[in-house]
């Protein structure tokens, strides 16, 4: 009997990779997304059924499920409301794979990502404490709403077995939030320097969409109620990332390292800049699912860089990558501030 998968957010960065991996594994995929009106991003020969769907429309989701699916892959779930939406339809879903985030972790003192003094164990196991869940409302943030999503789905594991994947810094083509643009734009602008805080040693564990898709494929074939980290085999430093991006673009830039935090923000800051390493432990996924990464960060980088250059060519990058502007609210490309600091520094 044919295995049926429903993928929510199928035209997004993670969704595209998940569809590709599931089709290659013999699944019939119902690819659901709002962006399907412009046509499918997959070859006609693929075993993909297109479903136009607004994730917030419960009736439309029920219709997309039809008689049911063996696995539902949700790449865009956020908050307790989406958990309850899935649980209300659990009688038609064999199991689920839902994307969460490593941002839910707190250190042993209860400090989360971005808080002063935060220090995680290296690597971070899935048993590490997480931020208190919050189901929307004033003060709710990304991490707390992801934690609420996790809590409700895990509590109902007997009703809907769900694998929650705590993803690191996601990278790959088709992103609206591509951290690599930080170095790609510098190369395109001909910037002669890469200024890096914390001595360029910051490590924020990345995960390729190809590796995420492999975890999704494995979890779809081995249903269970579990939480798993999702990360690449190696966590490169921000200095290694910058050098690798510029090598792909054949751009020569002087590396200027700042010990400690930026002395004049945003000089030296990047989307990966953290004072202490954020590295995820992948041993549980290896034991439970037999997970083996399909690609390393540096090997996957050329494809991402080429896509970024093509996607932004002749366009305002802030329109092409809106999440970079909205999520960080930091002008990482304040070259005047960089030059002023360099003049003082030298």
Question: Residues 8-50: pLDDT tens digits?
Answer: 999 999 999 999 999 999 999 999 988 764 456 778 778 799 8
What is the reported pLDDT for 30? 95
% residues pLDDT > 70 (the chain)? 97
Residue 71 clears pLDDT 90, i.e. is over it: yes
What distances in angstroms separate CA 288 from CA 70, 126, 168, one per listed residue?
Answer: 20, 13, 19
Q: Which residue has the higher pLDDT, 138 or 265?
A: 265
% residues pLDDT > 90 (the chain)? 87
Closest CA to 262 of 203, 187, 338: 338
| Angstrom distance (rounded) from CA 340 to CA 147 | 42
Q: At 42, is the secondary structure helix, strand, or coil? A: coil
Q: Sorting pLDDT into bands at 50, 70 and 90, what band is 323?
A: confident
Q: Which residue has the higher pLDDT, 279 or 2?
A: 279
Residue 176 clears pLDDT 90, i.e. is over it: no
User: Residues 71-98: what's their mean pLDDT?
Assistant: 97
What is the reported pLDDT for 327? 79
What is the reported pLDDT for 140? 61
| Angstrom distance (rounded) from CA 208 to CA 214 | 10
What is the reported pLDDT for 40? 65
Residue 271: domain span: 77-345
Assigned domain for 316 exists: yes
Q: Which two tokens stand for residue 342?
A: 């360099």
Q: Sorting pLDDT into bands at 50, 70 and 90, what band is 291?
A: very high
Largest distance between two CA atoms of the chain: 69
User: Residues 234-260: what's their mean pLDDT?
Assistant: 97
What's the mean per-residue pLDDT of the chain? 94
Assigned domain for 196 exists: yes
Place of tokens 């439970």: 288
What distances in angstroms separate CA 214 from CA 138, 174, 192, 209, 266, one per listed residue?
Answer: 36, 18, 38, 9, 36
Residue 334 clears pLDDT 80, i.e. is over it: yes
Q: Is 260 exposed, middle or buried (0-12, 13-18, 19+ CB in 10 A)?
A: exposed
**Residue ranges with strand state E in 62-106:** 69-74, 93-101
Closest CA to 269 of 183, 162, 172: 183
Q: Which two tokens stand for residue 191?
A: 């910037």
Q: At 308, is the secondary structure helix, strand, or coil? A: helix
What is the reported pLDDT for 41? 76
Please enumerate in sequence order all residues whose Cβ is within 8 A of that of 80, keeping only pairs 6 or more positions apart, or say none.
133, 135, 136, 145, 148, 149, 151, 152
Assigned domain for 62 exists: no
0.75 surpassed by pTM:
yes
Residue 300 clears pLDDT 90, i.e. is over it: yes
What distances in angstroms separate CA 242 from CA 255, 301, 305, one per listed residue?
Answer: 9, 11, 12
pLDDT digits (tens, 9 = 90+) for 101-159: 999 999 999 999 989 999 999 999 999 999 999 876 655 689 999 999 999 999 999 99
| Angstrom distance (rounded) from CA 151 to CA 57 | 22
Assigned domain for 305 exists: yes
Assigned domain for 327 exists: yes
User: How many domains, in total, are found in the chain?
Assistant: 1
Domain CATH number, residue 100: 3.40.50.720
Q: Which helix (H) or strand (E) holds 235?
A: none
User: Residues 331-341: what's their mean pLDDT?
Assistant: 95
What is the reported pLDDT for 36? 62
Assigned domain for 82 exists: yes
Q: Sorting pLDDT into bands at 50, 70 and 90, what band is 325?
A: confident
CB 199, CB 259: distance < 8 Å? yes
User: Residues 86-99: what's their mean pLDDT?
Assistant: 98
Q: Which two tokens stand for residue 176?
A: 């609206």
What distances in angstroms separate CA 196 from CA 30, 170, 193, 269, one per listed residue?
Answer: 44, 21, 10, 6
Give, as one character, the DSSP assignment of residue 112: B
Assigned domain for 28 exists: no
Q: At 322, is the secondary structure helix, strand, or coil? A: helix
Residue 69 clears pLDDT 60, i.e. is over it: yes
Backbone angles phi, psi at 244, to 5 degrees: -70, -45
Assigned domain for 41 exists: no
User: Residues 247-258: what's their mean pLDDT?
Assistant: 98
CB 236, CB 296: distance < 8 Å? no
Give, as one character, the DSSP assignment of residue 55: T
CB 236, CB 279: distance < 8 Å? no
What is the reported pLDDT for 240? 98
Q: Sorting pLDDT into bands at 50, 70 and 90, what band is 55?
A: confident
Instruction: Give the ranges where 29-89 is alpha helix by DSSP (H).
Output: 58-65, 80-87
């Amino acid at each position: 009997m044919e295995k049926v998968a429903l993928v929510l957010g199928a035209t997004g960065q993670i969704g595209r990779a998940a569809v590709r991996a599931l089709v290659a594994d013999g699944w019939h995929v119902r690819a659901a997304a709002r962006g399907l009106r412009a046509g499918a991003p997959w070859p006609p020969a693929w075993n993909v059924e297109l479903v136009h769907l607004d994730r917030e429309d419960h009736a439309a989701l029920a219709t997309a499920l039809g008689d049911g699916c063996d696995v539902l892959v949700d790449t865009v779930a956020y908050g307790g409301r989406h958990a309850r939406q899935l649980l209300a339809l659990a009688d038609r879903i064999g199991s689920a794979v839902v994307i969460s985030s490593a941002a839910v972790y707190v250190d042993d003192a209860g400090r989360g990502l971005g808080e002063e003094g935060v220090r995680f164990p290296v690597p971070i196991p899935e048993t590490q404490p997480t931020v208190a869940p919050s189901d929307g409302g004033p003060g709710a943030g990304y991490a707390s709403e992801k934690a609420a999503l996790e809590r409700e789905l895990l509590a109902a594991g007997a009703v809907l077995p769900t694998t929650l994947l705590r993803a690191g810094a996601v990278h790959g083509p088709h992103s609206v939030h591509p951290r690599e643009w930080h170095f790609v734009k510098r190369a395109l602008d001909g910037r002669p320097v890469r200024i890096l805080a914390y001595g360029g040693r910051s490590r924020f564990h990345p995960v390729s969409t190809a590796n995420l898709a492999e975890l999704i494929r494995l979890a779809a074939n081995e249903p269970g109620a579990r939480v798993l980290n999702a990360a690449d085999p190696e966590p490169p430093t921000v200095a290694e990332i910058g050098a690798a991006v510029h090598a792909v673009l054949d751009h020569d830039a002087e590396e200027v390292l700042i010990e400690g935090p930026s002395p004049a923000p945003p000089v030296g800051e990047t989307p990966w800049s953290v004072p202490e390493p954020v590295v995820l432990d992948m041993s549980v996924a290896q034991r439970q699912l037999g997970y083996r990464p399909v690609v390393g960060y540096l090997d996957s980088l050329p494809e991402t860089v080429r896509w970024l250059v093509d996607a932004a060519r002749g366009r305002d990058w802030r329109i092409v990558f809106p999440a970079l502007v909205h999520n960080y609210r930091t002008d990482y490309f304040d070259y005047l501030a960089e030059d002023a600091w360099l003049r003082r520094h030298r």
